[in-house]
Structure 1
Amino acid sequence: MSYSAPPPQQPGGNPYGQPPGPYGRPQQPDQFPQGQFPGRPQGGQSGGFGGGHPRPPARRGNVGLGLLAGLAAALVGGGIYAVILSNVTFQVGYFTFGIGLLAGLVAARIAGPNPVVPVVTAVFALIAAYLGQILGIALLIGKTFGGASFVDVLVEDFSAVHDLWQEGLEPISFLFFALAAFGAVTGAKKAAR
């Protein structure tokens, strides 16, 4: 059996340690590299020779919870869109992109990378944009006719509100719906990275 030769002597007499400081003790570094501590191996294992427990696998997102959160975000965005539409005299459809973006970002952040999330959040954004326009019309009718509640307007005359929405459809309205779906897909892909 052969033994390897000991390392050559370093100045100061200690072949395995650091050179002595000005007072005869080895110099200690002020900080250790981030995440490293003396006596602890790298790689997240707790044993000294590669033993110990490996790190648990990264947790996958909860798709159901993510889609539910995306639906809630889309409905909140649709409500904000309705309030904006009821207070202006022209159609501000570019906000539909924001509805979709919000829904996609929230859903994908919680659900993680999943190919279903962009498609479903695009549908949620389309529904929220439609509901936002319907609620905006109902709020405007309520303001115009003696301060009636938008709930009363929707419950009693939903067909009239829907007919007003259909009369107001223009080719650019379909562009705004497409922007809502595009915003949802874009937001979901950005957040899933």
Structure 2
Amino acid sequence: MSQSAPPPQPPQYGPADGNPYAQQAPAGAPGAPQVPYPPQAPYPPQPGAFAPPVPPAPGRNNVALGVIAALAAALVVGALYGVIIGATEHEIGWAAVGVGFVVGLAAGKAGGRSPAVAIAATVLALGSVYFGQLVGEAMLIADHFHVDFSEVFFEHIDSVQKLWKEDADPLTFVFFGIAAYAAFTGAKKAAA
């Protein structure tokens, strides 16, 4: 004769299952529910126990990423600076500071502490201020002659540069210096 498996047994419930007023048996007592410690979770450290040091975050010394971020920021804030010049018909010093700082901030955040990132941010900030001044000059010319800005800027850029040279004064170059300084310090502060 073969033996058959015993019939399935119904689950056993303790006195507290489904009854909020019943007392729970202390942990480890017979009939008390056993809650295993999750195997993937480490045991909590005991007070005064040695904890291994946390490794530092990896460094952000990516010069290429810093230069790309600075270039993108330089194009955007340079165009914005040009719009400000075109709208106000004046070069504004604090706007040049903002151009340099934003370019430096983008470069430092993306590129890290490398000196090459700060130098690239400085050069790109200078280019951004120049680009902004050309945009502003083109906006003023387009407004004066009642023509489209894109026609002036893209088809007559040589004339725009020639007029920019004639309009440039010592204060124009002070704005370049301010933007370069703001970019260099902004990149250093953002990387810290």
Partner of 1:39: 43
Verify the 8 A CA contact 2:122 2:180 in the aligned structure 1.
yes
For residue 137 of structure 1, what is the amino acid of its counterpart?
A: E
Structure 1: tracts of 5 or more residues without a match? 1-36, 43-47
Question: In 2 relative to 1, CA 125–49 (structure 1 residues): closer, same or farther, beyond 3 Å?
Answer: closer
Aligned residue pair count: 150
Deviation at 1:109, TM superposition (A): 0.9
Measure the CA separation in 2 of the matches of 1:152 and 1:50.
Answer: 67
Partner of 1:181: 180
Q: Is residue 88 of structure 2 the alignment partner of residue 88 of structure 1?
A: yes
Partner of 1:149: 148
RMSD over equivalenced CA pairs, Å: 2.5
Moved over 6 A (4+): 48-51
For residue 68 of structure 1, what is the amino acid of its counterpart?
A: I
Partner of 2:66: 66
Partner of 1:125: 125
Partner of 2:162: 163
Structure 2: tracts of 5 or more residues without a match? 1-40
Partner of 1:21: none
For residue 115 of structure 1, what is the amino acid of its counterpart?
A: P
Deviation at 1:57, TM superposition (A): 4.6
Partner of 1:106: 106
Q: Once the two structures are superposed, what CA deviation does each residue of 1:57-97 show, in whole Å capped at 9, x if it has no partner?
A: 52222321122111111111111100000011322133111
Verify the 8 A CA contact 2:89 2:140 in the aligned structure 1.
no
DSSP-derived class of the 2:93 partner: coil
Deviation at 1:149, TM superposition (A): 2.3
Deviation at 1:40, TM superposition (A): 2.6
Measure the CA separation in 2 of the matches of 1:161 and 1:64.
Answer: 32
**Highest Rg: 1 or 2?**
2
For residue 176 of structure 1, what is the amino acid of its counterpart?
A: F
Measure the CA separation in 1 of the matches of 2:132 and 2:181.
Answer: 17
Question: In 2 relative to 1, CA 39–161 (structure 1 residues): closer, same or farther, beyond 3 Å?
Answer: same
Deviation at 1:49, TM superposition (A): 7.8
Partner of 2:6: none
DSSP-derived class of the 1:94 partner: helix
Listed as ranges, the matches of 1:129-140 within 5 Å are 129-140=129-140
Identity over aligned pairs, percent:
43
